[in-house]
Structure 1
């Protein structure tokens, strides 16, 4: 068994990516963004689950925008192009499988 604490604070204008679990079949990443930070368009060969822990973020997926808030989940299929922009200081879990 393993436990991992995700309670950290990010300095203003810093992006923090922490790998929590990584195997060939599955990846779990904790991503923290400061307000207004963006991640440009990219895709993943795996199905992606986005779980917002805190803050607010806008995802653009296949030219559609969706705003996510805490406790909301976004599911993307493999090879879907997407980008994101933090509207507030944001903490999300990214699960690829």
Structure 2
């Protein structure tokens, strides 16, 4: 058993993306965005689960927008192009990347 601290890294930067841990074909990351900050369009060659812990994030999939809150879970398929931005408050998310 091991625990991981989900510290706030937004004091020194408008966004933070950092690895928390990994095992086999799975990587767990922490993503934090200040209000209004964004991550430009990209994709990955793995399945991805997004869990919002705080705030509201808007994911854009080629013009289709999906709002995520702590009450929602997002699953993205490999190679799905997307961008993400924080709305009116800071956003904290856990990103789970699972290679097939």
| Cα pair 1:58 1:66 within 8 Å, conserved | yes
Alpha-carbon distance between aligned partners in 2 of 1:48 and 1:62, rounded to the nearest angstrom: 17
Alpha-carbon distance between aligned partners in 2 of 1:4 and 1:95, rounded to the nearest angstrom: 14
Per-residue CA deviations over 1:17-76 (Å, capped at 9, x if unaligned) read 221113461111011100000111000100010000001110012431011111311100
The 3-state SS of whatever aligns with 2:45 is coil
Alpha-carbon distance between aligned partners in 2 of 1:80 and 1:9, rounded to the nearest angstrom: 27
Deviant stretches of 4+, over 4 Å: none
Give the TM-score of the pair, scaled to structure 2: 0.87
Task: Show structure 1 runs of 5+ residues with no match.
Answer: none
Task: Show structure 2 runs of 5+ residues with no match.
Answer: none
Q: Is structure 2 residue 28 aligned with structure 1 residue 28?
A: yes
Give the TM-score of the pair, scaled to structure 1: 0.89
Alpha-carbon distance between aligned partners in 2 of 1:62 and 1:86, rounded to the nearest angstrom: 17
Question: 1:39-78 counterparts in 2 under 5 A?
Answer: 39-78=39-78
Alignment coverage as a number of residue pairs: 97
Q: Is structure 2 residue 94 aligned with structure 1 residue 93?
A: yes
